[in-house]
Structure 1
C-alpha cells in the first residue's frame, strides 16, 4: 500500500527539519536553556561550587522550612569543632534524655547510651538521625539551645540573610526557615570539609557493632553519575527537599530543591538541575605562563626569581566562543632591596578582554641593596673564598 503525504504534513515536516537544523547551528544559551527547565518544585537553586555563582534559580530567596537539610549547618559546626580540637572522631558521647526524646527520623538512642562521634556523624548523614544530631550539638555547645545560637551566628557570617534556625535537626517548628539560596551557601561551606564525602557517599553501613543498619536517604548516591552527596529532608511542612552535590570534568555543582510534593519529584528535579549545569557550563583551567627572572637595580644580585600561584579554573558557558588569555604583567625592573614574598606584578587571566582573575606575582627570594657594608662583606667573602680556592682547601 502506498501512502501519500498531504501537503500540510509535508510542510510541517519541512518546518520541523528546519527547526532541528537551526537548533543545531544555534544552540540555546544557558539563560534560554534555563528558561526551558520545568521543575515541579516551588524553590530551587543551582550553584557552582568553586565560584559560588548561581547558574539557575527559582524563588531562590523565598523563606521556607527545609526539614533535615538543617543538618548541613549542624554538620558544618561539628566539623569545625573537630578541626579546632573540641571534638575528635573517636570521642565517645552519651545521649541525654533530651536527645533520646527527639522522635521522627532517628536511630532510637536511649538515655545514657554511648556512641562515638564518627558513628553519630554517620547516623546523622546517612539516616538523617535527629537524636544523633542533638547529641553532637550538645557535645559542641553544651545544650541544643546554645548550639542553635551558634548556628544562627554562623549563618549570619556566611551571609544567609533568609535563615533563622530554631533547632539543630530540622523538625517542624514555627519560625524555623531558610531559602534555597541559603541552603546552597551552607552546603558549599560544608563541602570545604572534604571528610564529609566519606559519609555522604555511604549507601549502607552499620552502627552498634553491626546491630543497626543505616541506609542512605539520598537515592541519587546509587543513580546519578558523579554524585558526591549531600543531604535530604522531609517533613509535612517542608515537603520533600534535597541539597545534591555532583562533580564531572573538574566542575562541582550544588543543586537545591525545596518543597517538592514527593521524593520522586525531589530527585527528578535535582537531577534535572545538575544535568542542566553540566550540559551548559564548564570549568577551563588555563596553563600557567613561565615567569622570567626580574632584573634588580641597585642590588647585590642582578635578578630575582619569581613565583605565582597556579591559576584557578574559570567558569564559562559551553556556548561561549571567547578565548581565555593569561599573561604576566611585570615591571622592567625592581629597585633593591627586595624581600622574599614581595609582590612585584600580577598574572592576569581574561576572557573576551574582561579580567576574570588576578594572581599576585611575588619574589621567590630576597635581593639586598648595595651599601658600603654589604659591598665590603661581598669583597671579603670573595677574597677569602678565592684564597681557599687557590690553596686547594
Structure 2
C-alpha cells in the first residue's frame, strides 16, 4: 500500500465539535460520544483551525518529507506575488523552452517554441498540476528553474518554513527537496489570507488547454461541498500527498 502524507487546513471542524459539546446540556441528554480519530496510514499529518491557528491533531507534523506536487503551491504563490507586485502580468506571453516541454510527470501539454499566457500557465499548474507549466513559469520569472528554487527558499524562510528546502518548481523527486506538513500548512494559510482571488483557482474542477480538458486532481472538491481547495501530489518516493481546506 502506498504511504499517505497528509496536511489538512480546516476551519469548520473546530466549530462543529464545540457546537455538539454545547448542545448536550441544553437537551439534558448524555454527553456526546466523540469517536476516536481514524487510523490514518500516513507518514505525517496535521489538522489545524486556520483562523485560530490551533492544532487539532497531528502526527510527525514537523518531519521532513518529499512534498511531490504540493511544491506547486509555492510555485503558484510566487507567481501571484510577482503579479501583485507588477513585475509580471497575467496576459504576458511565456516562451515554452525545450526543458519545460520535455519534463516528465503530469503535464498541461504545452508545446516547445509556443507562447502561453501567464494566466493559462497558472491554471495549468493549479488545476492540471502541470510540470511543464511550472518550469515554464519559473523560467519566465527567474530566468532558470534553479534561480526560481532560490526564490522559493527565500520565501519559505520568510514564512518560517524551517523544515523545507526546494530544488525545483515541480516537486519531482530529489533527496534535497523536502518539506513538512506544518510548513505546508503555514504556506497554505498565508496563501488563503494574502491572495484570496488567486486561491479561488484551487476550487476549479477542470481546465481545458490545447483542446485537452483535465479534471482537478483534488477529488474532495466533488465529494464535500465545504472543500474549497487545495492540492494533491504523488511520486513513488512521496506516496500520496494532500493539502485540503474546508470552510
1:102 is matched with: 103
Q: Distance in 2 between matches of 1:191 and 1:244?
A: 12
Q: For 2:116, what is the secondary structure of its paired residue?
A: strand
Give 1:225 deviation, angstroms: 2.5
2:198 is matched with: 196
2:159 is matched with: 158
Structure index of larger Rg: 1
Q: Is the 8 A contact 1:123 1:214 kept in 2?
A: no
Q: Distance in 2 between matches of 1:101 and 1:130?
A: 10
Matches within 5 A, 1:48-197: 48-192=49-193, 193-197=195-199
Give CA-to-partner distance per residue, 1:255-275, whole Å, 9 cap, x none.
Answer: xxxxxxxxxxxxxxxxxxxxx
Q: For 1:243, what is the secondary structure of its paired residue?
A: strand
Q: Distance in 2 between matches of 1:189 and 1:146?
A: 23
Task: Evaluate the alpha carbon distance shift between residue 121 and residue 40 of structure 1 in structure 2; reply closer, same or farther with a 3 A threshold.
Answer: same
Deviates more, 1:133-142 or 1:231-240: 133-142
Q: TM-score scaled by structure 2? A: 0.84
Q: Higher strand fraction: Structure 1 or Structure 2? A: 1
Alignment partner of 1:243 is 2:243: yes
Deviates more, 1:84-93 or 1:199-208: 199-208
Give 1:206 deviation, angstroms: 1.1
Gaps of 5+ in 2: 1-28
Q: For 1:42, what is the secondary structure of its paired residue?
A: strand
Give 1:26 deviation, angstroms: 3.1
Q: For 1:139, what is the secondary structure of its paired residue?
A: helix
2:19 is matched with: none
Q: Distance in 1 between matches of 2:121 and 2:140?
A: 11
Q: For 2:52, what is the secondary structure of its paired residue?
A: coil
2:229 is matched with: 229
1:307 is matched with: none
CA RMSD of aligned residues (A): 1.5
Give CA-to-partner distance per residue, 1:270-299, whole Å, 9 cap, x none.
Answer: xxxxxxxxxxxxxxxxxxxxxxxxxxxxxx
Q: TM-score scaled by structure 1? A: 0.53
Q: Higher helix fraction: Structure 1 or Structure 2? A: 2
Q: Is the 8 A contact 2:124 2:207 kept in 1?
A: no
Give 1:37 deviation, angstroms: 3.1
Q: Is the 8 A contact 1:76 1:189 kept in 2?
A: no
Gaps of 5+ in 1: 1-23, 248-393
Give CA-to-partner distance per residue, 1:284-327, whole Å, 9 cap, x none.
Answer: xxxxxxxxxxxxxxxxxxxxxxxxxxxxxxxxxxxxxxxxxxxx
Task: Evaluate the alpha carbon distance shift between residue 57 and residue 28 of structure 1 in structure 2; reply closer, same or farther with a 3 A threshold.
Answer: farther
Give 1:28 deviation, angstroms: 5.7
The number of aligned residues is 218
Give CA-to-partner distance per residue, 1:115-151, whole Å, 9 cap, x none.
Answer: 1111111111111000101111112111111110010
Give 1:235 deviation, angstroms: 0.3
